[in-house]
Amino acid sequence: MDIYSKRKYLVITIFIVAGLVFILRLFSLQVLDSKYKVSATNNVLRENVQFPARGLIYDRNGTLMVFNKPAYDLLVTPREVEKFDTVAFCKLLEISKEDLIAGIQKAKDYSSFKPSILIKQIPPESFAYLQEQLYKFKGFHTQSRTLREYFHPSAAHVLGYVSEVNDADIERDIYYKSGDYIGASGIERTYEKQLRGIKGVKKQLVDVHNRIKGSYLDGTEDIPAEIGNNIITTLDADLQRYAEELFVNKKGAMVAIEPETGEVLAMVSAPTYDPGLLVGRIRGANYNILSEDPLKPLFNRAIQAKYPPGSTFKIINTLIGLETGSINTNTRFACNGKASTPIRCTHSHVSPGNVVDAIRESCNPFLWNTFRSIIYKFKSVAEGFNMWRSYVESFGIGRILSTDFPNALAGDLPTEEMYSKLYGKGRWNPLTIRSLAIGQGELGATPLQMANVAAVVANRGYYYPPHLVREIRNDTVPADFRKKVYTKISPENFEPIITGMEQLLKGTLSYTSAVPGVVMCGKTGTVQNNQGSDHSVFTAFAPKDNPKIAIFVYVENGVWGSRYAAPMAGLMVEKYLNDTISAQKKAIEQRMIEANLLNPNQPD
């Protein structure tokens, strides 16, 4: 055999071997490999996003507050859509033909090959019938979701709500895609990453009739969704509901804190709303209604209203006077004659009074003279004012207290620069800004900040950052929540203040606001209002020793502190400490609940 014959057989052998390899490979791909079952049987491979259930939210006692209910989205893949009965389809979904056409066109504009959401958040009762009929409409399929559900329509501002992501959300975090949902306010927003979980993917084979034929590769390529972390809040659900009941037909806010931890026990902004109104397909319409309500139920007064604290601020001014040595426990200022100007007392009482008398009687002249003494103790008005301001700021006024309240405002704590711009540098003095002595003027604090001040007094000089979450399952809460923040006031200077607060509850407020069997300390406030009745304010803590609750109550147009804010605070303290309201306080409780301050024609 010559060399040419050998080459011929070699080439033939190579071709035969190559042919056998191709035949075996084709046999493997077309017969043995199930991946190609899709095209071989005219099936469609569909990847469905598996949305995780959001974490559940509980109160401090383990009471479930927020859970999930099933819902479904209808998706359309434009390239798969074939001619169908639009009338029957619209009737099935309870939508107009115009909305259907617009929805499909929007999906085409996004992508003809990728599925887009056509109808969102279909409830289970509607989904069952839809699923039975969907095989008639090629190119349409569903995916499951969950919606938030509430055991009680309370704590709306604290819990927050969930809404659809916007472009900014998508750009900020690649986790989100168009049509996803995100926590928009409250705990839902602050702890979004913990609550949302992790999305999964389920691959399914679907036949030409849009019917699911099974999992792709027996589910080996599926990625299961991971459920969000459960959260234990600091709230007492019963106390929260009780606070909201007291605030029915009223405007204002109430915040209660556990002094020894900084945990918020209850937080109310009134008027409030049912959080269930902002869930599901009705969310958009209800949000517009709430947004246009003149009573502003969406506005969180507890952390965003910059209220003048009124006479409750006298606690801080008196403490600064004692700490700077501007006054001492033996200092007395007269409450009549020349000493009563420029700020007069609103009622007669013992005069001249000392620190304890001033707190108990809320003596305006005492606080004016104290404030003036603080400012003039230093070399210049500017230096004295800045020193006063630094002491106030150490109580948390004028700054954000905690990371748990991303929408909170710092309040208004005026600066030297502001007054110099307003009156001219060197042309203002304590008399010019005298309203600060009694907690008015340019001063504004949120109810959360003033409740924190009550906690500071209860702790004799320090606080823990107020917060709403005490435990996150499989995660940790911020370590800063457990760090003490000290004010610039020495512990011993709190004692005369607390004595005055104790005497107030044992005296004029003993019947309406004191708690039977509990030593309670409080301070009233009446805030001037040029646009109607004055505002009713009260701050307190109890018991006097080893305090369990500190509270601040602000009732707009409540006339004076002892009329509404003080009795409401007393009821809250009694409810929390004793878990019930005593028989002797039932009449006061009924009067507080039934009072209507939103209707000027109805007597309160």
193 with 287, same domain: the answer is no
227 with 252, same domain: the answer is no
527 found inside a domain: yes
Buried b (16+ CB within 10 A) or exposed e, 30-51: eeeeeeebeeeeebbebebbbb
26 found inside a domain: no
Statement: residue 119 has pLDDT above 70 = yes
Are the CB atoms for 471 and 482 separated by under 8 Å? no
What kind and span of H or E run contains 91? Answer: helix 86-93
pLDDT for 416-439, tens place per residue?
A: 999 999 999 999 999 999 999 999
Q: What is the mean pLDDT of the chain?
A: 90
Confidence tier at 139 by pLDDT (50, 70, 90):
confident
CA angle 461–465–468, rounded 5-degree value? 135
Percent of the chain with pLDDT over 70: 91
9 found inside a domain: no
Q: Which pLDDT does position 2 carry in this prediction?
A: 60
157 with 251, same domain: the answer is no
316 with 205, same domain: the answer is no
Statement: residue 266 has pLDDT above 80 = yes
Q: Which pLDDT does position 402 carry in this prediction?
A: 94
203 with 333, same domain: the answer is no
Last residue of a domain, one of 231, 246, 269: 231
The CATH number assigned to the domain holding 199 equals 3.90.1310.10
pLDDT for 504-559, tens place per residue?
A: 999 989 999 999 999 999 999 999 988 889 999 999 999 999 999 999 999 999 99
Statement: residue 457 has pLDDT above 90 = yes
Closest by CA position to 571, among listed 523, 511, 525: 511
Statement: residue 30 has pLDDT above 60 = no
177 found inside a domain: yes
Q: Which string of DSSP letters, residue by residue, matches 284-346?
A: HHHHHHHHH-TT-TTS-HHHH--B--GGGGHHHHHHHHHHTTSS-TT--B-SSGGGG-SS--S
**What value does the mean pLDDT take over residues 105-112?**
88
286 with 139, same domain: the answer is no
Going by the DSSP 8-state scheme, the letter that residue 131 receives in this structure is H
Confidence tier at 305 by pLDDT (50, 70, 90):
very high
* Domains in the chain, number: 2
227 with 247, same domain: the answer is no
The CATH number assigned to the domain holding 409 equals 3.40.710.10
**What value does the mean pLDDT take over residues 233-242?**
98
5 found inside a domain: no
Q: Which of 208-212, 352-356, 526-530 has the lowest mean pLDDT?
A: 208-212
Range of the domain at 79: 45-231
Are the CB atoms for 363 and 335 separated by under 8 Å? yes
17 found inside a domain: no
Per the model's pLDDT, the better-predicted residue between 12 and 229 turns out to be 229
Last residue of a domain, one of 206, 231, 256: 231
Are the CB atoms for 228 and 197 separated by under 8 Å? yes
Q: Which pLDDT does position 31 carry in this prediction?
A: 55
249 with 348, same domain: the answer is yes
Q: Which of 21-35, 111-125, 496-510 has the lowest mean pLDDT?
A: 21-35
218 with 243, same domain: the answer is no
Per the model's pLDDT, the better-predicted residue between 25 and 88 turns out to be 88
Could you tell me the sign of the dihedral formed by the alpha carbons of 324, 325, 331, 332, in that order?
Answer: negative
166 with 287, same domain: the answer is no
Q: Which pLDDT does position 41 carry in this prediction?
A: 42
**What value does the mean pLDDT take over residues 125-154?**
88
185 with 269, same domain: the answer is no
556 found inside a domain: yes
Q: Which pLDDT does position 282 carry in this prediction?
A: 87
12 found inside a domain: no
Last residue of a domain, one of 200, 231, 262: 231
pLDDT for 79-101, tens place per residue?
A: 888 888 999 888 888 889 899 99
426 with 564, same domain: the answer is yes
